């Protein structure tokens, strides 16, 4: 499932280096007969924009979309735990899975960063990669739905990941994972983060997964890969 590494590149912060290889990424994705071709074709607008637009405009749009709020965060556990202490333990468990697989993640990114998770999946066999990718399927489907609602050309990329994982795109994930109330300006964003710091206690940080069985199941699967993966299409 090496194409998952290519998709991980497309989800990272855009650089001139990425622009230079976007054409090669396109060719390799279209040449992969194991991918759903209709879903691959749907990411063409994103590939075209990444390869031809001004790099500063592309970078600004990326930051505005993924870094200015939580609704489209590229950190899986952000959608489940927010900034509660539970998120830290979940990431310790996920990083241990990387280490057990012989990988030692370096750099500044947290283990639940989607591109890093995709790189991990890309080292697995096809079947194992699909099963592992399906574990956070509820988050991937919710992101696909939210980005589609925003008319972002990144939405088909998450739809492609859902297709690969066999995750149903029936809208239930979006309902199970309601987006947070993201601030509309930088001042409001700063205020929100300040509020989160003073609420960083066990008493004030309820488990967001408690009210959502789908999310609870997702976390159980990511902690224990031996559990069956529900929600997969046959």
pLDDT bucket at 198, cuts 50 / 70 / 90: very low
> What value does the CA radius of gyration of the chain take, rounded to a whole number of Å?
17
**What confidence tens digit (pLDDT) does each residue in 66-112 have?**
988 888 999 998 877 555 566 677 788 888 999 988 888 777 788 99
Determine the distance from the C-alpha atom of residue 141 to the mean position of all C-alpha atoms in its chain, rounded to a whole number.
9
Q: How many CB atoms lie within 10 A of CB 234?
A: 3
Strand partners, 232: 167
Contact criterion met (CB below 8 Å) for 91 and 77: yes
Contact 75, 36 (CB under 8 A): no
Least reliable range by pLDDT among 46-60, 100-114, 138-152: 100-114
pLDDT value of position 203: 35
Compute CA 105 distance to the chain's CA centroid, rounded to the nearest angstrom: 17
Rounded Cα–Cα distance for residues 205 and 195 (Å): 12
Per residue, what are the HEC states of 186-229? Answer: HHHHHHHHHHHHHCCCCCCCCCHHHHCHHHHHHHHHHHCCCCCC
Q: What is the DSSP string of 80-133?
A: HHTTSHHHHHHHHHHHHHHHHTT----SS--TTBHHHHHHHHHTS-HHHHHHHH
Q: What is the pLDDT of residues 127-141, one digit of tens each?
A: 999 999 999 998 999
More confident residue, 216 or 161: 161
Predicted confidence at residue 71, as pLDDT, reads 87
For residue 167, the cross-strand partners are 232
Tokens 């488990």 belong to residue: 207
The per-residue pLDDT of the chain, averaged, comes to 79
Residue 38 tokens read as 């209709």
Asked whether the beta carbons of 36 and 144 are under 8 A apart, the reply is no
CA-CA distance, 25 to 7, in Å (whole number)?
Answer: 8
**Distance from C-alpha of 30 to C-alpha of 41, rounded to nearest angstrom:** 8
């Amino acid at each position: 499932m090496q194409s998952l590494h290519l998709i991980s590149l497309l989800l990272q912060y855009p650089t001139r280096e990425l622009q230079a290889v976007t054409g090669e990424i396109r060719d390799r994705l279209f040449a992969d007969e194991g991918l759903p071709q209709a879903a691959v074709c749907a990411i063409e607008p994103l590939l075209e924009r990444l390869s031809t637009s001004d790099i500063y405009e592309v970078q600004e749009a990326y930051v505005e979309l993924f870094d200015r709020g939580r609704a489209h965060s590229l950190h899986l556990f952000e959608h489940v735990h927010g900034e509660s202490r539970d998120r830290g333990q979940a990431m310790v468990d996920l990083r241990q899975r990387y280490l057990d697989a012989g990988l030692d993640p370096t750099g500044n990114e947290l283990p639940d960063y989607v591109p890093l998770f995709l790189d991990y999946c890309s080292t697995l066999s096809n079947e194992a990669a699909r099963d592992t990718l399906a574990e956070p399927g509820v988050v991937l489907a919710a992101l696909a739905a939210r980005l589609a609602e925003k008319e972002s050309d990144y939405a088909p990329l998450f739809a492609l990941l859902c297709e690969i994982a066999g995750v149903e795109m029936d809208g239930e994930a979006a309902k199970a994972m309601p987006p947070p109330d993201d601030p509309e300006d930088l001042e409001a964003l700063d205020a929100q983060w300040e509020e989160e710091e003073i609420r960083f206690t066990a008493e004030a940080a309820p488990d967001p997964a408690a009210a959502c069985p789908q999310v609870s199941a997702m976390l159980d699967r990511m902690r224990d890969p031996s559990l069956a993966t529900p929600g997969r299409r046959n």
